[in-house]
Structures are given as structure tokens and as C-alpha cells.
Structure 1
Amino acid sequence: MDYIFNDLSLWAIVFAIAVTLVAGFVKGATGFALPMIMVSGLATVLPPEVAIAALIVPTVLSNLWQALRGGGLTAAVKSAAKYKLYIFTLLAVIVIASQLVSAMSQQAVFLMLGGPIVILALVLLSGKSISISPSGRGYADVIVGAIAGFLGGLAGIWGPLTVMYLTALETPKKEQIRLTGVIFGAGAVVLGLSHLRSGVLNAQTLPLSFFMILPVLIGQKVGNLVQDRLDQQKFKRATLFVLIVAGLNLIRRGLM
């Protein structure tokens, strides 16, 4: 981690910590968007693959906290069983797609990150959802899980599509928060193991990922207080505006 910090100014380090605090806060308040905010912000001061590595360990821990907060282990297991096909597809594709990160140019990674962030944030912001019939649920689980897994393996981002899918299925709010914790946590574990193989998570980047745990959990704790007291939908709309700006910034960097 020394060489990473040696290449950064003090303001860049402070900026990275601030971004991580904000990401944890939004995660605590809405149940998602931690990887998107972290990788969008950190990629402005770090190479894309280092930004992805930095979010892996805190993402695992924050989602474990989220999954168990709404009813404990029993409730989390019951929720996961309802979506086992989606979860299996997501994890399998993350393993495959994660091996492509190191082979892609920085510009391509920025565009692959920025485009989905903007598009999915706009879809969620518009309030639109896609109705899925019970007979088509299995096919939808595989298709959406594969797309989310590809984005997750490549960019560490599988949250927005998962949230949109659960919304289309009219998942109750508490179960959705708990379930996203399970899905995002399992995905983060697989992503971490895959990037140990790809080389993105290594002796230099792993300490940075551990370093980011504290600001994420502090931010998440404060965000949980907001989730418990304020209208979640209004706050989610505000965070989506922020995500659109972050995604457009990544697209700008990819095109320049």
C-alpha cells in the first residue's frame, strides 16, 4: 500500500476517505450504491483496478451487517432461498467476467463503469419498473443475473440492476434491504476471490481495502439512522442524482 499512498497527495487521500464515508452513508440509508460511489469517486485519484480492489473487503463486511440487521441469520437464509437461481447465476458470471479487468484499457473500464451507472440511475429515478410474470421468473433470474454478474465482475457493480429487478418483482421493502445485503455480500466474496486470481487484489491493494473498512462502517452506521427515521424513497432519489453525476464524470474520463 505504500507505493499507492506515495503516489497520492494529502488532499487525494482525504478525498478518498471522504468518498468512502459518503458511500457508506448512502449504503446505510438506501441499502445499495456502495460500490458505485466508491469506484466512481476513487477512480478519479486511483487506477480503475485499484479502485475496484479497495472496495472489496468493506463491501463484504457492510453487506454482512445489512443482511443480518433485518431479522438475523434465519431471515437472511429464507430470503436467499427465494432467489437462489438469480444468486447462483450472478456469482458464476462474476467469476468469469472478473478475469477481463486487467486486460482492458483504462478508458474502456471508465466507459463500462460510467454508462451503466447513468442508465440504471435514470431508470430508477424515473420510477419505472418491469412487470415479470411468475412463469417467466426463472428466465428473468438467469438473464438479469448474468448481466448483473458481468457488470459486477468487470467493475464491482451489480447493485443497481439487482435493485431494479427486485423492485419489478414488488419485493417488500424490509425483505429487499435484507436480500440485497445477502446478494451483494455473496457477490463481493466471489469478486474478492476472483480478483485474487486475476491479480487485481494483491499484496499492495489488499491493505488499502482493509484501510477503507472503518470509513465505510462509520458512514453506514450514520446512514442506518437516516433509514430508520426518514422517508427512504426521497433520499434514494437524491442519491440517484449524485450517481448520475458520478457516472457522467467516468464517461468524460473514458472519452478524453
Structure 2
Amino acid sequence: MTATVLVFVLVVFVVAGFTKGIIGLGLPTISMGLLAVVLPPTEAAALLILPSLITNVWQMLDGGHLRSVLRRLWPLNLGVCVGTWGGAAFLSGLGGPYGALALGVALILYALSGLAALKLAVPRAAEAWLGPLAGVVTGAITAATGVFVIPAVPYMQAIGLQKDELVQALGLSFTVSTLALAVTLAGGRAFTWDLAWPSLAALVVAILGMRLGQAVRARLSPQAFRIWFFAGLLALGAYLAARGLV
């Protein structure tokens, strides 16, 4: 990794951590989207594992609702694991022929759902079958792209979790997705010692960015930021999808 690429990687993780600090998500989405411009998808995903895991464990443990969200969301998270591992085998893992296209489409769908402020409602009785289904689809997208937000995040918003519950639920789901992806990458021998120091540096700057974002969130309205955030993801997703098609 050249010095120029390393500086770019660190800037990406500062921005991604800052975004996560403000709205509670976005670190893997932004990181994978931007790193895919300069790095192979498998290498980008390997760099993402440590910063994503630590920041999500922190978010998962920060609150008093972990037991309740574990009890309610275990079918979703089990589906995420099944979908990630099954998807890796079916799609030949990250960096397959449709990796860039799939990542672009995932980013576009996520951005459109955010810009449209979709408010879906899932009846409690439907969670038993819809949760595992959403998890499997999310896992398959994770295996292909390294991004684990579609459709898990809209699903968690739709089941009526309160604000603090939702933040911890996002941390839990992202932690499970990160670990499942790590198993897939380890099986493909994506982790190398060459990525150790860049990954640790990325962790440090991601935490700094996250803390800064948390401080800014207390002073600024997140609504305006979300509009710019999702608009940027939409443009980035369109670029990656077009590159995948070409």
C-alpha cells in the first residue's frame, strides 16, 4: 500500500466514523463504497473488519436494551450468518464478477430509502418469518459487497423499536454481520500481515471520527446532514453500478 493510498484510506475512515457518530450507522457503507475506488473489494473488506467490529461492539453495549434486542432479533441475525456464508459460496465471495454492480445497487437502494424517509410497519406476528428472510438477504448482499444495511436496517426501523433500542439493535446486527464476514474472509485467506498496521490506523481514526460525530450530533440537526449523506451515497452507488456494468 503506497503512502498516497494509505492517506486516502485514513481520510475515508475519519469520514465514515464521523458519519456513524452522527446518525448511528454508515461506517461500512461509506468505507466500502470509497475504498472500492482504489482497492480490490476483498482487501477493502479486510481493512474494514477491525474498525467496524470495535465501533459496533461499542455501540451495541452502550445502553440498557441489549437483552431485549437479542431476544427479539436473534432470527434476523441467524439469517444474516446463513446468508453471508451461503452467499459467499454461491457468489464466489467478494470481488466476484458482479461485486461492483451489486455494491452500487445496494448503495442506491439504501440512499433512496433514506431520502424518501420510508416508514414501513411490520406486524409483530410477521417477525417470525420476515426476520430470518431479511437476515438471509442481508447476508447474501454482505457476502457480495461487504455492506450490511439492506434490508436489515429498514426492517429494524419497521418493527417499531424505540430510539435507544434501535441504536443498540443496529450495533448488534452490524457486529454479527462483521463477524460473519470475517469468517468468510478468513476462509478466503484475505487477511494478511500487510494489512495489520493500516487496519489498526484505520481503527484509531475511525474512533476519533466517531467521537467527533457524537459531539457534533449534540449541536447540529441530523436531518440536514442525512440528506447530504444519502445524496452522496446515491451518487457513489450510481458510479459503482455503472462501472460494474461497463
1:142-200 deviation per Cα after TM superposition (whole angstroms, max 9, x unaligned) = 21111111111222211242221112122211111111001101221221122101222
Structure 2 residue runs without a partner (length 5+): none
Structure 1: 4+ residue segments shifted above 6 A: none
Contact 1:124–1:164 at 8 Å: present in 2 too? Answer: no
Question: Counterparts of 2:43 and 2:37 in 1: how far apart (Å)?
Answer: 11
Q: Which residue of 2 aligns with 1:40?
A: 33
Contact 1:32–1:160 at 8 Å: present in 2 too? Answer: no
Contact 1:37–1:246 at 8 Å: present in 2 too? Answer: no
Q: Which residue of 1 aligns with 2:157?
A: 167
RMSD of equivalent CA atoms: 1.8
Q: Which residue of 2 aligns with 1:94?
A: 84
Question: Counterparts of 1:152 and 1:250 in 2: how far apart (Å)?
Answer: 16
Counting only pairs closer than 5 Å after superposition, residues 1-256 of structure 1 correspond to structure 2 as 5=1, 8=2, 10-71=3-64, 75-99=65-89, 100-101=92-93, 104-105=96-97, 108-256=98-246
Compared CA separation, residues 94 and 102, structure 1 to 2 (3 A): closer
Structure 1 residue runs without a partner (length 5+): none
Question: Counterparts of 2:61 and 2:199 in 1: how far apart (Å)?
Answer: 22
Amino acid at match of 1:88: L
1:9-28 deviation per Cα after TM superposition (whole angstroms, max 9, x unaligned) = x4332222111110111111
Worse-matched range after superposition: 191-200 or 41-50: 191-200
Contact 2:94–2:143 at 8 Å: present in 1 too? Answer: no
Contact 2:40–2:95 at 8 Å: present in 1 too? Answer: no
Question: Counterparts of 1:122 and 1:83 in 2: how far apart (Å)?
Answer: 25
Q: What is the CA-CA distance between 1:59 and the residue it aligns to? A: 0.4
Compared CA separation, residues 103 and 211, structure 1 to 2 (3 A): same
Worse-matched range after superposition: 206-215 or 116-125: 206-215
Compared CA separation, residues 247 and 165, structure 1 to 2 (3 A): same
Question: Counterparts of 1:102 and 1:248 in 2: how far apart (Å)?
Answer: 19
Question: Counterparts of 1:146 and 1:177 in 2: how far apart (Å)?
Answer: 21
Question: Counterparts of 1:128 and 1:221 in 2: how far apart (Å)?
Answer: 28
Question: Counterparts of 1:36 and 1:20 in 2: how far apart (Å)?
Answer: 11
Q: What is the CA-CA distance between 1:233 and the residue it aligns to? A: 3.4
Amino acid at match of 2:73: Y
SS of residue in 2 equivalent to 1:101 = coil
What is the TM-score with the length of structure 2 in the denominator? 0.91
Question: Counterparts of 1:191 and 1:57 in 2: how far apart (Å)?
Answer: 11
Amino acid at match of 2:19: V
SS of residue in 2 equivalent to 1:159 = coil
Identical columns (%) = 25
Q: What is the CA-CA distance between 1:132 and the residue it aligns to? A: 1.7
Amino acid at match of 2:25: F
Worse-matched range after superposition: 200-209 or 186-195: 200-209
What is the TM-score with the length of structure 1 in the denominator? 0.88
Compared CA separation, residues 102 and 85, structure 1 to 2 (3 A): closer
Question: Counterparts of 1:56 and 1:241 in 2: how far apart (Å)?
Answer: 25
Contact 2:53–2:178 at 8 Å: present in 1 too? Answer: yes
Worse-matched range after superposition: 201-210 or 13-22: 201-210
Aligned residues: 244
